[in-house]
Amino acid sequence: MKHPLLILLLGLCIGLALFPLLNRSSSNTSAVSTSIETSRRNAIVRAIEDVAPAVVSINTVYDRNYPRYRDHFFEPFEPFSDRRRIPGIGSGFVIQTDGYILTSSHVVDGAKEIFVIFPDGRGFDVLDVFIDRQWDLAVVQIDADSLYVPEIGTSENVIIGEWAIALGNPFGLHFEDLNPTVTVGVISAVDRIVRPEQNERAYKGMIQTDASINPGNSGGPLVNSLGRVIGVNSFIFSQGGSLGIGFAVPIDRAIQVACQLIDQGSREFWTGLDIHNLNPHIARTLGVLTIKGALITVVDPLSPGESAGLLPGDVIVMVNDKNTSSADDVVDAFRYAAVGDIFNLKILRGQGRVFDAQLVLEADPRNNE
């Protein structure tokens, strides 16, 4: 009888000795779980939660004419046009509580129908569209108030290497879940000068990021880890997919342009000119005595350029008493221009004739289409 009692007492002592250790182990496990859960809700997650409610899907419809031909066995062989309605999609985000949304101009430019969808399922027809093609920016207005606006940061203190979060809502009505898509990377460079296609004008001061900017995310916000908007997603360098090189318009510039559009409407002007850079080969072919300046390649009929007496082959060497070395310099000179502004040009024609021309900017006829 003594041995079983002794064994029972020994077991009780061991249990009392081990209990604190077991309890401590359980506490440690609980602490680790809490730590993991806390680490999951990191700065990026919080930033996304702060901005996502303001990110919208912008659904568009375009009319496109496609050439078709009748069957010449049954009808005369005459070309005719087949008009089709082509859907488009992009993103944007709220910048004012009273219904103003910022996006990229290429998302909405020329669209016949525009419909905005919020993550909570609310949908709105667009009342008005204001476009600035110079900066690839647009503002669309909807009939809404008390909208949620994310915190707008500044692009002045963007740090190379800091987190960059690209948000967009490219699926709209195609998915039942209307929440934005998110990609994360870092700021790769700032103040980039980017020319998306050869012979196209350059975009200056762009933010470069390796956060994937998918086509449907154009117009959405680029956000830092503090949940502040620092840019407007614009375009990527692509060869059939993302190469990890995306670009955003700095938010300081975007908000400045947006406020001008809201206050003054679209300031899009028309010159009727196409310009390109000169190079030695083109200069020799045209018999031009310089490779500095902007070569005029097209002058539209009845345009301000034609009224100014300009011809294809002319070279713009000075704008408002400032020398121009390239087509980009000319674009920069017109960067903040508006309808009605007058520009004094110095033109080189042929092998040495230099003359002055006065170019009066007119409203862009595309705004009335």
Please list the active-site residues. 106, 136, 218
CA-CA distance, 162 to 226, in Å (whole number)?
A: 11
Q: Which residue is listed with tokens 């502004």?
A: 341
The helix (H) or strand (E) run that includes residue 190 is strand 181-194
Question: Three-state SS across 207-236?
Answer: EEECCCCCHHHCCCEEECCCCEEEEEEEEE
The answer to whether 88 and 106 have CB atoms below 8 angstroms apart is no
The answer to whether 288 and 278 have CB atoms below 8 angstroms apart is yes
Please calculate the CA angle 257-258-261 and round it to the nearest 5 degrees.
Answer: 90
How far, CA to CA in Å, does 60 sit from each of 125, 212, 235?
A: 10, 22, 18
The helix (H) or strand (E) run that includes residue 104 is none
User: Cα-flanking dihedrals φ and ψ of residue 43, to 5°?
Assistant: -60, -35
Which of 95, 107, 151, 149 lies closest to 132, judged by CA? 107
